[in-house]
Amino acid sequence: MSFINSQIHLVSRPTGEPGLDNFKQMDVAVPELLDGQVLVRNHYLSLDPYMRGRMNEGKSYAQPQPLNQVMLGGTVGEVVASKNAAFSVGDQVVGMGGWQHFFIVDGGQRGVLQKVDATHIPLSAFLGAVGMPGVTAWYGLVKIINPQAGETVVVSAASGAVGSVVGQLAKARGAQVVGLAGGAEKCRYVVETLGFDACVDYKQHADVKSLSAALKIACPNGIDGYFENVGGTILDAVMSRANAFSRVAMCGMISGYNGEPIPMSAPQLILINRMKFEGFIVTEHMDVWPEALKELGALVATGRLKFRESVSEGLASAPEAFLGLLKGRNFGKQLVKLV
Amino acid sequence: MSFINSQIHLVSRPTGEPGLDNFKQMDVAVPELLDGQVLVRNHYLSLDPYMRGRMNEGKSYAQPQPLNQVMLGGTVGEVVASKNAAFSVGDQVVGMGGWQHFFIVDGGQRGVLQKVDATHIPLSAFLGAVGMPGVTAWYGLVKIINPQAGETVVVSAASGAVGSVVGQLAKARGAQVVGLAGGAEKCRYVVETLGFDACVDYKQHADVKSLSAALKIACPNGIDGYFENVGGTILDAVMSRANAFSRVAMCGMISGYNGEPIPMSAPQLILINRMKFEGFIVTEHMDVWPEALKELGALVATGRLKFRESVSEGLASAPEAFLGLLKGRNFGKQLVKLV
């Protein structure tokens, strides 16, 4: 059996906002499998803010995405051919399949391809609430913020793949949970469907002062924990309401990904309020994944953890969907459906 | 026996830089002791950057210094009269005696007045290396930075009461230690007397870029731990050289004490480098004091921990000495000798 593989490559690096011309789609033949290899057909591709960081050449926490190669990205799919005893045709798997229809991996490399059990969990959820975004939420909330019952936890990008899980996990631990999201529809979803105590529409607030005033109303007891997905003026506003001994999990700073660094206005508050800030990358904490996935899988399978997906159709739609993600146009976990 | 007590009061709050007119000296009679009280004659008054923060009215980690009352401050001295069985005339004690010659305390209040053994340690050292500055250094270094042998630790205000102890404790733990200090004389002292591996004279560097380049030379393996006493452009420069998983103990931000907040230019580095920032106030961690003081006392008594004092003579010199401290004019722990 021979396959034609469509791929999307990064062909130039953006300065500032990326555009469609940074990407190029092309078709290549899928080579024959070698011993030990597995061929996977990707069903869903995950689009994530971290990809913007990798499009830059400069120093970051990860190697830059190479030019003229297929864009990296997490995928779920199905094994369509295997020369590896550990994988059979029909197995459902999660891996770093990239922006393409097919990918070949050495099935013996540890952790590169994971079988998943989608009996009670939708396959796409392994890219979201029961995948990297879910574990990211779990790590920052449980290991850094560690909320105590009655404390107030604030989450930015609250309707997104990570933020929505952070808030629901914090609620389950007895915290007061306040989201930040862009627009009335997202805010309504965060409160009514996800069960947050309140949600502030940051688009209604042009400056730090206005946003800080809104947070004062939403968080009458101040802020004890903040899960940072955004950065910029939102971080400044949250810091203005931070309590003594508050914790900030620095997970993403999407507002700075396009290359304009956004200063923190009042770093002295870290001292004045004896705050703790901690940046983290969830793939560096593989030891917590089993514990986190166990809790997340059980919550999703029993319907107690809600999530929402924004699904764009077809590989060719990936660049446009990715640019939309960077502008906050998605509503829930951004996926690309490939079959 | 009756005494006249000279005191210095805060009589107005500074906007920006404080001046001599914010302070006023006056004489009052020392009242008769009540049962349980102790009268102490202060020998040395400690001047510390935190006092500037308390001169402001706004929210900080401590209550503001009240207007028209004696300035608060740590002191060492000798008991000159006692109606408390736990203290005898002649006892050497450390306490919060304030900017004055005498003070009266309820000797029964826990932790308010501590007897010290100055047999092998100079009395003034209980305000420095074997006092709050020493424990501050110990806490930030041991509990937050926790340097591993071979890591690089950077300390700002390296010739000061806190910074000098941080560096020597880090050296004792096998770290490479680089100081930041203002001027060639202080830098020479930091390297030659305190034994740091290098010291960068920040006054030779007009901007972040230049300071960052100097740090690159002084710290060829990057920076794993930073003890922050200063803030502002120095913090930006250190962050530009921070390694993955580096830790920043936020102890003081003297550059911002006069009311102009100084932004942090690139907070995204906290995420990119998975850094940890932690602000702390040593008086909130009384549980570590015995362990810290034991190590510090042993090091001072055996001459292995060096320190230096800047002693101004007489209570009336305190305001001028304090203003000098805020400008970095002191060289070592700033004290006022009162007897």
Q: Closest Cα to residue B246, out of B279, B220, B269?
A: B269
Whether A267 and B266 lie within 8 Å, measured CB to CB: no
**pLDDT of B59 above 90:** no
Whether A272 and B60 lie within 8 Å, measured CB to CB: yes
- Answer yes or no: are the C-beta atoms of B263 and B235 closer than 8 Å: no
Residue A60 has what pLDDT? Answer: 60
Neighbours of B192 (CB within 10 A): 10
Q: What does the pLDDT average to over B141-168? A: 96
Residue A329 has what pLDDT? Answer: 86
Q: Is A254 on the interface with B (CB under 8 A)?
A: no
Q: Which domains does chain A have, with CATH numbers?
A: 4-127+307-337 (3.90.180.10), 132-283 (3.40.50.720)
Whether A272 and B61 lie within 8 Å, measured CB to CB: yes
Contacts of B236 in chain A (CB under 8 A): none
Residue A253 has what pLDDT? Answer: 64
Residue A213 has what pLDDT? Answer: 98
Residues in chain A: 339
pLDDT band, very low/low/confident/very high, at A111 (cuts 50, 70, 90): confident
**Poorest-confidence range of A8-17, A200-209, B157-166, B249-258?**
B249-258
Beta pairing, strands B276-279 & B242-250:
parallel
CA B214, B262, B227, B99 torsion-angle sign: positive
**H-assigned helices in chain B:** 50-55, 132-138, 161-172, 184-188, 208-218, 233-239, 268-272, 289-301, 318-326
Whether B265 and A263 lie within 8 Å, measured CB to CB: yes
Residue A261 has what pLDDT? Answer: 73
Q: How far is A175 from A172, CA to CA, in rounded Å?
A: 8
Strand locations in A116-197, DSSP E?
152-155, 176-181
Min distance B91 CA to chain A CA atoms (Å): 36
Q: How far is A303 from A149, CA to CA, in rounded Å?
A: 23
Exposed/middle/buried for residue A207 (C-beta within 10 Å: 0-12, 13-18, 19+): exposed
Report the residue from B252, B265, B280 with minimal CB separation from A274: B280
**pLDDT of A304 above 90:** yes
Report the residue from B251, B264, B284 with minimal CB separation from A263: B264
Q: What does the pLDDT average to over A304-332? A: 94
Beta pairing, strands A242-250 & A276-279:
parallel
Interface-testing mutation among A268, A276, A281, A282, with chain B (most B C-beta atoms within 10 A): A268
**pLDDT of B71 above 60:** yes
Report the residue from A263, A264, A271 with minimal CB separation from B253: A271
Residue B19 has what pLDDT? Answer: 96
The mean pLDDT value of chain A amounts to 93
Whether A268 and B275 lie within 8 Å, measured CB to CB: no
Give me the amino acid identity at B263.
P
ipTM: 0.85
Residue B4 three-state SS: strand
Q: Closest Cα to residue B158, out of B335, B337, B328?
A: B328
**Residue linked to tokens 């803010």:** A49
Report the residue from A231, A275, A284 with minimal CB separation from B267: A231
pLDDT band, very low/low/confident/very high, at B57 (cuts 50, 70, 90): confident
Residue A332 has what pLDDT? Answer: 85
pLDDT band, very low/low/confident/very high, at B338 (cuts 50, 70, 90): very high
Estimate to the nearest angstrom the gap between the alpha carbon of B62 and the chain centroid: 16
Neighbours of A150 (CB within 10 A): 10
- pLDDT, one tens digit per residue, over B190-227 is 999 999 999 999 999 989 999 999 999 999 999 999 99
Residue A50 has what pLDDT? Answer: 85
Whether B270 and A277 lie within 8 Å, measured CB to CB: yes
Q: What does the pLDDT average to over B122-126? A: 96
Q: What does the pLDDT average to over B179-195? A: 96
Residues 6+ apart with CB under 8 A from A130: A121, A293, A296, A297, A300
pLDDT band, very low/low/confident/very high, at B254 (cuts 50, 70, 90): low
The mean pLDDT value of chain B amounts to 93
Contacts of B60 in chain A (CB under 8 A): 272
* B 35-54 → A contacts, CB under 8 A: 53
Report the residue from B256, B266, B277 with minimal CB separation from A261: B266
Q: What does the pLDDT average to over B57-61? A: 67
**pLDDT of A66 above 80:** yes
**Residue linked to tokens 């702390």:** B280
* Closest chain B residue by Cα to residue A285: B274
Neighbours of A85 (CB within 10 A): 9
Contacts of B253 in chain A (CB under 8 A): 267-268, 271
Whether B256 and A270 lie within 8 Å, measured CB to CB: no
Exposed/middle/buried for residue A129 (C-beta within 10 Å: 0-12, 13-18, 19+): buried
For residue A171, give the DSSP letter: H
Give me the amino acid identity at A206.
A
